[in-house]
Chain A
Amino acid sequence: MTEGNTNKNFLRRQSALAHVINYGQFGNVSLNGPGLFICERHPLTILQLETAKSKNPQTLAEISNLLNVEFPQTNNTCHGDDERRSLWLGPNRWLIVEPERDCLQTLIKTKFSSSDVFLTDLSHGRSTVRLKGREAREVLMKGSGVDWHLNSFGTDHCVHTKLFDLAATVDCRDIDVFDIYIARGFAEDFWDILLDSAEEFGYQVD
């Protein structure tokens, strides 16, 4: 799935998964169709934002206005849509994700002094996989001991956890839609484990 800027003047970001992705249906696909739909979201701007504790509410409100996105104050929750999304990562720490367009970092940096807000561009360092379908939670269950039940992990919840022994952020976009952010260097390994786990349910790579 290609997202974001396709402008030729823009230095095109390379996907870490492009050369391992085979499109089509694989595994034990039943008459009901594949249990899972898997695709890569690319290219995305992924920015980690931390604020100085003393200036936290004020700075956050201003950035929130600038970007038109709310920063969740509740642990393990997210806000926003596919266009721009913010995820709670830890105290005073958030992840901002959007399809790559402008340089978000520059946009924020020009308005705020560096002692108020700390930004780390992770766009080059993360790969994003979208997992969708009726068996998506089953596959997540294989990878981590987090309670993936709908009652505790519903829409607009996120967790930063160890998934298949890799550090991963999982964002619940909808009841059975999940975005998984992993370190780019492990993306290929993660992709292999994910497909192995999905095989018994049948999956489609889009």
Chain B
Amino acid sequence: MLIINCPLCGPRDHAEFTYIGDATKNRPKSDDISNDDAWYDYVYLRDNPKGLHEELWQHSFGCRCFVKVVRNTVTHQIIATGMPKEDLILDEKGFERSV
């Protein structure tokens, strides 16, 4: 059983969360649809990394907020969690929340 530490509610079962997707994708700033490549990338292209992956989960059975999670796709270890706008930075000590 995975435990995800919701920044608002505290540690909870992963069963309370809904997986949303890759958290590294940012919506293109321009609404210009002629800028095809950026939009194609944003909508369709996803990496499938072996190792650390930044992803969004929604705490749907709790506060209903989106949570940014760094998960190891090999071991399923949850390494860090924070709010979606936070940068989860990797340093010597591991991941830290930047606020």
Docked complex Cα distance between A152 and B62 (Å): 17
Within 8 A of A (CB), among B1-43: 1, 3, 8-13, 15-16
Question: What are 12 A-B residue pairs whose CB atoms fall within 8 Å in the complex?
Answer: A75-B8, A75-B9, A75-B63, A90-B8, A145-B3, A145-B13, A152-B10, A159-B62, A161-B61, A161-B62, A162-B13, A162-B16
Residues of B within 8 Å of A, CB-based: how many?
Answer: 15
Chain B positions within 8 Å of A146 at CB level: 12-13
Q: Determine how close the nearest CB of chain B comes to the CB of A160; give it in whole angstroms.
A: 5
B53-71 interface mask toward A, CB cutoff 8 Å, 1 = contact, 0 = none? 0000000011111000000
Q: How far is A171 from B16 in the complex, measured between Cα atoms in Å?
A: 18
Q: Which chain A residue has the least Cβ–Cβ distance from B61?
A: A162
How many residues of chain A have a CB within 8 Å of chain B? Answer: 16
Q: Interface on A for B, CB 8 Å cutoff?
A: 75-76, 89-91, 93, 144-147, 152, 159-162, 167
For residue A169, which residue of chain B has the nearest CB?
A: B62
Contact A89 B63 (CB under 8 A): yes
Q: For B10, what are the chain A residues with a Cβ–Cβ distance below 8 Å?
A: 75-76, 147, 152
Please give the residue numbers on chain B whose beta carbons come within 8 Å of chain A beta carbons, in ascending order. Answer: 1, 3, 8-13, 15-16, 61-65
One of B11, B15, B16, B62 near A147 (C-beta < 8 A): B11
Q: Which residue of chain A has its CB nearest to the CB of B11? A: A147
Q: Is A159's CB under 8 angstroms from B13's CB?
A: no
CB of B15 within 8 A of CB of A159, answer no
Let me know if A90 and B15 touch, CB within 8 A. no
Cα separation A89 to B65 with both chains bound (whole Å): 11
A160 near B13 with CB under 8 A, answer no
Are B12 and A161 neighbours in the complex by a CB distance under 8 Å? yes
Contact A91 B65 (CB under 8 A): yes
- B64 near A90 with CB under 8 A, answer yes
Contacts of A152 in B (CB 8 A): 10
**With A162-B16, A162-B61 as contacts: A91 and B8 at CB distance below 8 Å:** yes
Contact B9 A76 (CB under 8 A): yes
Q: Is the pair B63, A91 in contact by a Cβ cutoff of 8 Å?
A: yes
B16: chain A residues within 8 A (beta carbon): 161-162
Nearest-neighbour CB distance to chain A for B56, whole angstroms, equals 17
Interface centre among B8, B10, B62 (most CB of A within 10 A): B62
